[in-house]
Amino acid sequence: MGNSCTHLGIPPAKGPNAVGCTDFMMDHTAKGSFFRLYYPCQETEKAEKPDWVPCREYFNGLADFMKINRSLSKGIFDHLFGSFKIPAYMDAPFKSNEKCPVVIFSHGLGAFRTLYSAICAELASRGFIVASVEHRDQSASATYYFSEKPASERAKGNSPKTSASAPEDLLMEWMYYRALRHGEREFPLRNQQVKQRADECILALDKLTEINAGAAVRNVLHTPFDWTTLENSMDLCRTAIMGHSFGGATAIEALCKEVKFKCGVALDAWMFPLNDEIFPRVKQPIFFINSEKFQWAGNIGRMRQLDSAVIQRKMITIRGTVHQSFPDFTFLTGNWIGKLMKLKGEIDPELAIDLSNKATLAFLQRHLGLEKNFNQWDLLIDGEDKNLIQGTNVILFQSAI
């Protein structure tokens, strides 16, 4: 394997199950549900691992989000990220010996459904079914939906193929990241987005609930995955919400809106989009897992508003990490470029994600009542590891009493 400088790639999941993934779009419009599902699967010879970035438009969206010229970015992204695969088998058959607890995952600003595969695949390898939502609130760097072709177009029938497979009578529509307009106040936009994002997470859970009940679902994307195999496979009394950055705020908003989520994990949450008045209405346990370099006093102060004497609210900080230590980018760049682009911290990225994942699993076991061995990592919830800080490294200014 060589040392970590030369070996780039998303680390394989460590749990006992092989991991499959498939894409699901129900209702072709922008109001529908779109997510990548990760699940325990059968070991299979045939299945391929999908490309980390599904098609060119996502790279265009990332370029726009990062304010790089698209044609310039094509060369950079192809060079840096063109050959990477996700550590899961596309459309592999579902297989689990027991009912799977469920996690809904929400991505950060400028991300999309595939960029957190190291986290989602790890959870699936440990027996979870994970739906990584692609948000349609214009906070993803790119996403797509379909509109109906005009009748004149439909008659022709031989439409040009786009880079992702479009059903026959539908036209693919791309939606890119919307930057703040000149002079626009940020809070109203972000608050509106976080509410839509929470609704999209709840909708994903509703769709999984239908699938679990054996309702016939029509996946617009026509993948070979057999959705009927998921009937009665999910333990919907054991459901959690998780997200990174804007997705961390989304997790908190979703906990407030939907009591079916029994707990939440917020990775380096960006608290700005949330209304303060929702904090007292969140009744479920929350675990804040922070990076060392991203947080600041105002943001931590808002996390602290969620502290409770009766509901478990935990916070740890992973030493040597940056905000981008949670998405997959951190594994795919060498040290020099990684540090230059703030995609890598001082800590080995595999160690950082491993600590985050194990702490998450311990927290989920505790609050979903799982009968697994994840409690072996309970100490991590309290920051008891040389690479962890209990609470935060940010100094909160105490007013003189």
**Catalytic residue list:** 245, 268, 323
> Which tokens hold the place of 89?
């088998």
Ramachandran angles phi, psi of 274, nearest 5° = -90, 145
Q: Give the Cα separation of 250 and 329 in Å (integer).
A: 21
Q: Give the Cα separation of 81 and 356 in Å (integer).
A: 24
- Of the candidates 391, 298, 293, the one whose C-alpha atom is nearest the C-alpha of residue 343 is 293
Question: Exposed/middle/buried for 98, CB within 10 Å: 0-12, 13-18, 19+?
Answer: exposed
Total residues belonging to the chain: 401
- Which residues lie closer than 8 Å to 390 by C-beta, 6 or more apart? 315, 316, 382, 383, 384
- Of the candidates 238, 272, 280, the one whose C-alpha atom is nearest the C-alpha of residue 256 is 280
Geometric angle at alpha carbon 244, from 123 and 328, rounded to 5°: 65
Geometric angle at alpha carbon 319, from 110 and 316, rounded to 5°: 80
DSSP one-letter code for 95: -
